[in-house]
Amino acid sequence: MNAKNGSKFRRLWDGDTSDHSADESRADLALCGTLAFYTGPDEARIDRLFRQSGLMRAKWDEPRKQSTYGRDTITKALGGRTEFYLPSGKGKAEVKTANSAENADDWPAPVPLVVLPDVPAFPSQVLPTWMREFVEALAVELQVPLDLPGILVLAAAAAGIGRKVAVSPRPGWKDEPTNIFAMVGLPPGEKKSQTFKKCLAPVLEYERELQERELPNIERAESEFKVAELRVQHLQGKLAKAECATDRPPLKEELARALEERQAVQVPAMPHLQVDDDTPEKLAQELANQNGRLLVASPEARALENISMYGEKPNFDVFLKGHAGDDMKSGRISRGRQAVTKPALTCVFTPQPHVLETLGETEALRGRGFLARWFYSLPVSRVGYRDVDPSPMGEQTEASYRQCMKTLWLSEYATNDDPPEAHNLTFCPEALRMLNDFLRWIEAELRPGGMLADLAGWGNKLGGLFVRLCGVLHVAGTLFPGAPWRRMPISAATAQAALTLARDYAVPHARAAFALMGEDVKVGFAKKVLKWLKARNEPQADFSKRDCFNGCRGTFENVDELQPVLDLLERHYLIRSNETARKVGPGRNPSTKYEVNPAAWHDEPLAQNPHYSQNSSA
């Protein structure tokens, strides 16, 4: 580095504490202070860089109350700091000061509260050939990220074998279902509806075939039920009009038989394999009607909005039980309640990133583990870099995909009992070793300072996601005559493919998704303060700390808890303190006044994903 204190920095970076009287803690703080100046108020980046330095040691991750030594050191290094090194883009660099005595109109550009980390592209090479060729060809034809068709195809396959296939990797592991919940965050203009239509075409084609086949049976049963219902109504009328006491007993017996006959008429539900924007109550009913198997697929994720739209408390039990395979009961509008054993609900949504952001604001969704069940993806957008004359998908590629996906959906249960039994897949020894190694890796990363430390709820379900993906990839990769997947154990190659998806792809995307949803408590509070500022009659008006505390009543227990949040907003150039006005004479100084950056509302500087405007290869 060329700065005048570069030699001191180099010594610190190499682990030399001699400039700080061999005091390691002082050296840690000094290095974090220097990193803070050059990286801006990016705590995650400071942590990542420190771990690469010669000062990194086990103490960095030592727990300290609800934090760690490393986090406390970074917080201390950032405390009170208002100057940061910012490249000017003109071959030079300058120092920006958040609360300088500059002209009120001379504000630095706001820094997003959340800068999403880099995320890898979807690893289409791990998919079975018929899936991979379709995903890659569709991404080219529609000029969309590989992630979008890749996740959709995996979800469609998972729904196809849902409830029919379970995975038992080792003794003591509860049979793992193969249905998954997937969420792909993409802004508008990404051809999401067209991608859904192409990926789900075999499923909807099969659904139409089932409906055409079942329609005559439904119409016949409805006719029988209607006749039985009319007979019941006729007898009830005769009984009500019977004047002679001797006429009533035989009429009662005849009515009882009519009621039994009506009850015996079972009207089959119209087959539905996929729904989109049902309310939770209707979804539970439909899941029961479809014998516990259903795919919920929506480009705009209206089903997520429906969770909290109807009623004061979010109702998402059907999602929790449908994901876990826990038995549930569903109310049916006119025929009583119906139990569903081991339901398999598969969901795939492609909400806009701001919808993901609002999901994180719903405490109930966090508290009961709803957000921990999803396979997240935040792809790189291709908008602005798309080929205007792309190559269309080959007919053979599309035909192969349709045939294989339909074959997968046509797979049968292991038995025809009531309820039917699922096929149980096992792991080969090498695949089991890979599973255990992965579980050990997860456990280590859940420790303070680890990659999954802030995603404990999601991280604790990551092993299950890996096993589910193993099941889906195993069946999809062995769709040969005679269905050999039923007898073959899950191979090491399949386990490696699932590991690439779960560890190398899903983990960084989940970290980005949870960052967007405000997993950091301080960022979450900062968003609430910004929301209060914007809701005022004059959003640009100055405010005091006491004004903010009262305006966000219930968010902070006391004014002292608010100060670190205001410091965070100040470091991101969204507000700045104005301490020039002081009380003259006896008494305490007034509450600190803050100005609001006029650009704070222009671009909604809450989160930034640089990938949304960069090119991506598909």
- Which CATH number goes with the domain that contains 74? 1.10.1240
Specify the 3-state DSSP secondary structure of 294.
Answer: strand
Per the CB < 8 A criterion, the answer to whether 408 and 206 are in contact is no
Beta bridge partners of 423: 165
Neighbours of 275 (CB within 10 A): 17
Over residues 242-269, the pLDDT tens digits come to 888 787 888 888 889 989 988 898 888 9
Per the CB < 8 A criterion, the answer to whether 379 and 186 are in contact is yes
- Does some domain include residue 471? yes
Say whether both 19 and 164 belong to one domain: no
| Number of domains, the chain | 3
pLDDT above 60: residue 96: no
Specify the 3-state DSSP secondary structure of 85.
Answer: strand
- Does some domain include residue 608? no
- Single out the residue in 246, 264, 282 at which a domain terminates: 264
Say whether both 221 and 190 belong to one domain: no
Say whether both 416 and 463 belong to one domain: yes
In this predicted structure, what is the pLDDT of residue 587?
52
Say whether both 220 and 191 belong to one domain: no
In this predicted structure, what is the pLDDT of residue 598?
82
pLDDT above 90: residue 239: no
Say whether both 429 and 506 belong to one domain: yes
Say whether both 485 and 366 belong to one domain: yes
Could you say which DSSP state residue 122 is in? P
Domain of 38, in residue numbers: 6-97
- Does some domain include residue 72? yes
Torsion of CA 140, 143, 144, 149, to 10 degrees: -30
* Position 378 confidence tier, pLDDT thresholds 50, 70, 90: very high
Q: Which residues contact 122 (CB under 8 A, 6 or more apart)?
A: 135, 145, 146, 147, 150, 151, 377, 379, 505
**Strand order, beta sheet including 575-578:** 543-544, 593-596, 575-578
- Does some domain include residue 102? no
pLDDT above 50: residue 333: no
Q: Whole-prediction pTM value?
A: 0.72
The residue-averaged pLDDT of 285-311 equals: 81
Which range is least confidently modeled, 130-134, 206-210, 302-306?
Answer: 302-306
Say whether both 353 and 491 belong to one domain: yes
In this predicted structure, what is the pLDDT of residue 521?
63
Distance CA 388, CA 431 (A): 44
Phi, psi of 76 (to 5 degrees): -65, -40
Rank 21-30, 84-93, 155-164, 283-292 by mean pLDDT and report only the highest. Answer: 155-164
- Does some domain include residue 452? yes
Say whether both 373 and 460 belong to one domain: yes
- Single out the residue in 516, 551, 566 at which a domain terminates: 516
Say whether both 426 and 458 belong to one domain: yes
- Does some domain include residue 414? yes
Give the residue with greater pLDDT, 423 vs 361: 423
Say whether both 13 and 33 belong to one domain: yes
* Position 589 confidence tier, pLDDT thresholds 50, 70, 90: low
Cα 319 to Cα 184, 358, 437, distances in angstroms: 17, 18, 30
Q: Which residues contact 186 (CB under 8 A, 6 or more apart)?
A: 145, 148, 192, 350, 352, 353, 379, 381
Task: Looking at 123-186, list the stretches that DSSP marks H as alpha helix, in order from N- to C-terminal side.
Answer: 129-142, 147-161
- Does some domain include residue 445? yes
Q: Which residues contact 16 (CB under 8 A, 6 or more apart)?
A: 54
In this predicted structure, what is the pLDDT of residue 336?
46
Over residues 437-446, the pLDDT tens digits come to 999 999 999 9
Say whether both 417 and 370 belong to one domain: yes
In this predicted structure, what is the pLDDT of residue 4?
52
Beta bridge partners of 337: 331
- Does some domain include residue 113? no
Say whether both 365 and 411 belong to one domain: yes
